[in-house]
Amino acid sequence: MEVVVKKDYDEISKLAAKMIADVIKSKTKPVLGFPTGSTPIGTYKELIRLHKEEGLDWSKVSTFNLDEYVGLEPKHDQSCYYFMWENLFKHINIRKESIHAPNGVAKDIVAFCKWYEDEIIKTGGIDVQLLGIGGNGHIAFNEPGSSLGSRTRIKTLAKETIKDNARFFKTSDEVPKYAITMGIGTIIEARELILLANKETKADAISKAIEGPITAMVPATVVQMHPRTTIIVDKPAASKLTREYIAEPRVLKTTKTN
């Protein structure tokens, strides 16, 4: 696990985008995992810039969204799919059939979740999974108490998560109570993890995720077990860490692979 502390949100966004762009350039058929939420927006803006100004090619890329609210159609303006379309996909040359997202209105959610897991395997597995972290330490919609070996499934959202996400809805009552989420066991099978956090409001969660014991009560601690995890935080989010961490990640040479 490598922890990188940057000055501000702009710096963490640019570094994350560069790391993802390097994966896209180094793979013949890159497979990326993406989250929603406010934290990755800066990364998506930088990836769009790299596409438009530097020709970053997305035509061979496949993507998998981490989660989706149960009951929301993809065109709903608060669905996770809509978020990704508006903040990234419509601005790049990715093929629409290469975009994979949980279906919040699937008739048989259990069967759909099995299909989603199979699709990840079929594409060759996720090369790099981008992650955010909730104030209670959740990753994707894997709330505290989630099994560290869990797979894609339906989850009940914690009150804290509903409260945090209420800012995207007119009232907290409109926030869906259930979501389909990629499981923790699925997430850590990605070849590389990049976890982002900014602002002091994430300092407690980041401190526990990086320096605390691995526990299902803080799902993000599972990233400590992954051989290629990079956690990129700004100084406010790093304010409760007790050790000093680097300002730049190791430079890893990559070669063109399938």
Catalytic positions are 67, 136, 138, 143
Three-state DSSP state, 63? strand
Q: How many alpha carbons lie under 13 Å from residue 92 in its C-beta half-sphere?
A: 30
Sheet architecture: strand order including 31-34: 2-6, 229-234, 192-197, 128-131, 31-34, 62-65, 99-100
For residues 190 and 32, what is the distance between their CA atoms, to the nearest angstrom? 9
How far is Cα 208 from Cα 214, in angstroms, rounded to an integer? 9
Instruction: Measure the CA–CA gap between 159 and 177, rounded to whole angstroms.
Output: 9
